[in-house]
């Protein structure tokens, strides 16, 4: 699939939230036309990484280049031009609550194109049909389940047929059937429209099934990267633990903290 050149190029990226280091020098290449998956334990900063690519956060050092442009150096106008060519599915869906499902999907079309209303209607219905929610077009976001809301958000993210699309946890909250449909859909959209896809997910099997390339992040670093097959076969103990979901091993399940036993014995140390 991938034709070799990188659409997104991250070099030596460092980033911290109010003093807490999230990324400590990472290099990532997202290949043009491919599906690249970013995986890692909860709280490692996968969402943050997507926000850095979208220019919503500024790196402390290092570079994030999208289509050859250094995101943090773009002027406001250039950044907005770039974002018109990016789609992003937020982890929470982030639908506009005062607009119906239909109007939510139509929103980017109405904001950025001068298409006649009939054409917008057709486009919106096509996208909603793809995620299986054409019948729900008149519902308000409050009347949707979490999984439905995420599918509407997906339809909205692909409404403008962007150059690159970023999915933050597209599969969470989906039943097995819609999960299967979504996995197929994401792959199909990518191939049919020649998009570049970045997918953040915890669902190892589904992600491995459609991704061309995987990055595993942990504690601010890229732990391992390669095609799914390579990682399954030749991965380290860490990788195998993560990919197979084993509770014991080098991957920490806990947020960094002092030893539990020590903390329990300390009298009234916190609060």
Partner 1 sequence: MIALTLQRMGRWALERLERLGRSNLFLLHVVPGLPGLLARPGLVVQQTFAIGVLSLPIVVVAGLFVGMVLALQLYNTMVDFGAEQSLGPVVALSLVRELGPVVTALLFAGRAGSALAAEIGLMKATEQLSSMEMMAVDPLRRIVAPRLAGGIISLPLLSAIFSAVGISGGFLVATGLLGVDSNAYWSQMRANVDLFDDLANGVIKSVVFGVVVTWIAVFEGYDAAPTSEGVARATTRTVVNSSLAVLGLDFILTALMFGDDT
50 vs 186, which CB is nearer to ligand ATP? 50
- Minimal CA–CA distance to 182: which of 206, 213, 202? 206
User: Which token pair is 46?
Assistant: 């996968």
Q: Could you tell me if 13 and 208 are in contact, meaning their C-beta atoms sit under 8 angstroms apart?
A: no
Say which residues have a Cβ less than 8 Å from residue 56's Cβ, sequence separation at least 6: none
Residue nearest to Mg ion (CB): 47
User: Which token pair is 82?
Assistant: 């770039």
29 vs 168, which CB is nearer to ligand ATP? 168
Q: Could you tell me if 15 and 52 are in contact, meaning their C-beta atoms sit under 8 angstroms apart?
A: yes
Q: How far is the CB of 152 from ligand ATP (least distance, A)?
A: 20
DSSP for residue 5:
-
- Considering just the CA atoms, what is the radius of gyration of the chain in Å? 20
When CB distances are held under 5 to 8 angstroms depending on the partner's kind, the choice from ligand ATP, Mg ion, partner 1, none that residue 45 binds is ligand ATP
When CB distances are held under 5 to 8 angstroms depending on the partner's kind, the choice from partner 1, Mg ion, ligand ATP, none that residue 183 binds is none
Query: Is 56 one of the binding residues for partner 1 (CB under 8 A)?
Result: yes
The footprint of Mg ion on this chain (CB under 5 A) covers a number of residues equal to 2
Strands 213-218 and 35-39: parallel
User: Which token pair is 141?
Assistant: 């976001």
Q: Residues 180, 88, 221, CA angle at the centre, nearest 5°?
A: 90
Pairwise CA distance, residues 251 & 241, whole Å:
7
Query: Is 96 one of the binding residues for partner 1 (CB under 8 A)?
Result: yes
Query: Is 12 one of the binding residues for ligand ATP (CB under 6 A)?
Result: no
Query: Is 170 one of the binding residues for partner 1 (CB under 8 A)?
Result: no
From the list 47, 63, 232, 241, which residue makes contact with Mg ion (rule: CB under 5 A)? 47
Which spans in 93-145 are helix H? 101-112, 117-130
From the list 21, 72, 74, 107, which residue makes contact with partner 1 (rule: CB under 8 A)? 107
From the list 45, 55, 141, 228, which residue makes contact with ligand ATP (rule: CB under 6 A)? 45
Kindly identify the residues of this chain, within the stretch 212-271, that bind ligand ATP according to CB under 6 A. Answer: none
Q: How far is the CB of 219 from Mg ion (least distance, A)?
A: 16
Q: How many CB atoms lie within 10 A of CB 211?
A: 23
Candidate segments 2-10, 23-31, 93-101, 219-227, binder of partner 1 by CB under 8 A: 93-101
16 vs 209, which CB is nearer to ligand ATP? 16
The footprint of Mg ion (CB under 5 A) covers 47, 91
The footprint of partner 1 (CB under 8 A) covers 54, 56, 80-81, 83-84, 86, 88, 90, 92, 94-97, 107-108, 111-112, 153, 156
């Amino acid at each position: 699939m991938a034709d070799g050149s990188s659409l997104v190029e991250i070099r030596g990226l460092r980033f911290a939230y109010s003093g807490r280091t999230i990324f400590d020098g990472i290099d990532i290449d997202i290949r043009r036309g491919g599906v690249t998956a970013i995986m890692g334990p909860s709280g490692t900063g996968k969402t943050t990484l997507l926000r850095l690519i979208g220019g919503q956060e500024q790196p402390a050092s290092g570079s994030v280049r999208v289509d050859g442009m250094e995101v943090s150096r773009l002027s406001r106008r250039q950044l907005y031009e770039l974002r018109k060519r990016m789609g992003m599915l937020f982890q929470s869906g982030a639908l506009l609550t005062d607009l119906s499902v239909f109007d939510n999907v139509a929103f980017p079309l109405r904001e950025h194109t001068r298409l006649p209303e009939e054409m917008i209607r057709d486009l919106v219905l096509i996208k909603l049909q793809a995620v299986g929610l054409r019948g729900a077009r008149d519902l308000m976001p409050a009347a949707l389940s979490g999984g439905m809301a995420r599918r509407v958000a997906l339809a909205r993210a692909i409404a403008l047929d962007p150059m690159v699309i970023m999915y933050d946890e597209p599969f969470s909250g989906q039943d097995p059937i819609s999960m299967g449909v979504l996995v197929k859909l994401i792959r199909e959209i990518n191939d049919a429209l020649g998009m570049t896809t970045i997918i953040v997910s915890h669902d190892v099997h589904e992600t491995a099934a459609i991704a061309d390339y995987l990055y595993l992040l942990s504690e601010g670093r890229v732990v391992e990267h390669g095609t799914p097959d390579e990682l399954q076969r030749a991965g380290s103990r860490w990788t195998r633990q993560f990919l197979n979901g084993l509770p014991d091993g080098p991957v920490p399940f806990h947020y960094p903290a002092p030893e539990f036993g020590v903390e329990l014995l300390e009298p009234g140390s916190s609060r």
